[in-house]
Amino acid sequence: MEPNGKVAIVTGGATGLGRAISKMLADAGVIVAVNHPAPDADEARVTVSQIADAGGVAVAVEADVSSAPQVASMVDQVVGSFGGLDILVNCAGTTVFVDFKDLAGLNESDWDRIFAVNAKGPFLCAQAVVPHMQARGAGVIVTITSGSGLSPGGSSIAYAASKAALEMTNKCLAQALGPQIRVNTVAPGMLATRWGARFGKEALERRRQSLPLKRLTAVEDVAATVLFAVRNDAVTGSTLLVDAGGSTIR
């Protein structure tokens, strides 16, 4: 798909990786709806302003992706404003930091919230956008998962399990929605974001030194891979791993 002139929703698009994806899509000529939860409204305005300052077009759209009514309202708002929808990037996510061995420390409410946002949310967004993509005759869904969804690791068991569930969901969607709509996942390794900082400087440095490329994955690396997944019409049902070689040492 040629991105110029297309319309996209980027969930969790206000901060960190979502901001980088929103800005890179906008630089490629995409009209970007920057989705955000209520607490990130100010961050969303910053992202939209940065895109506008660079000559792009973006709007902020508030919605909790774990709520079907809010997702439907978000999609209707974007389609009503721009006449259609071509691209969905599922980047919204949440986690808690609980050591894998601390089973008692991972409570039921945290588990439910992580799965609601990380696993259910992207499916709800796909449900809402697919009819509009089908009306256009084509569409692309790109979902951010994690290396933790492919091999045990990450911030908590709930997070890793939610990302693994999301991997299978997207493979099923790719099978169900082809050939009109392509569905792929992008799985980053450890990122030097506000989440990544929670692991601590020493842990980040140990991870960097262990990687074949001796570097952590940057948000721009992941955003570039999302753009590749949008553009390449021969790729669907795939997981594009962007982890500086981390998969080779698991």
Does 159 qualify as catalytic in the annotation? yes
Pairing of β 87-90 and β 58-62:
unpaired
Q: How is residue 203 written in tokens?
A: 């842990």
Vertex 36 angle, CA 34 and 40, to 5°: 120
* Alpha-helical runs (H) found in the chain: 16-27, 41-53, 68-82, 108-115, 121-136, 157-177, 201-210, 219-231
Cα distances from 137 to residues 1, 19, 166, 214, in angstroms, run 12, 28, 25, 43
Per the residue annotation, which of 159, 164, 170, 184 is the catalytic one? 159
Task: State the Cα–Cα distance between residues 226 and 20, nearest whole angstrom.
Answer: 10
Q: Contact at 8 Å (CB) between 118 and 159?
A: yes
Active site positions, annotated: 159
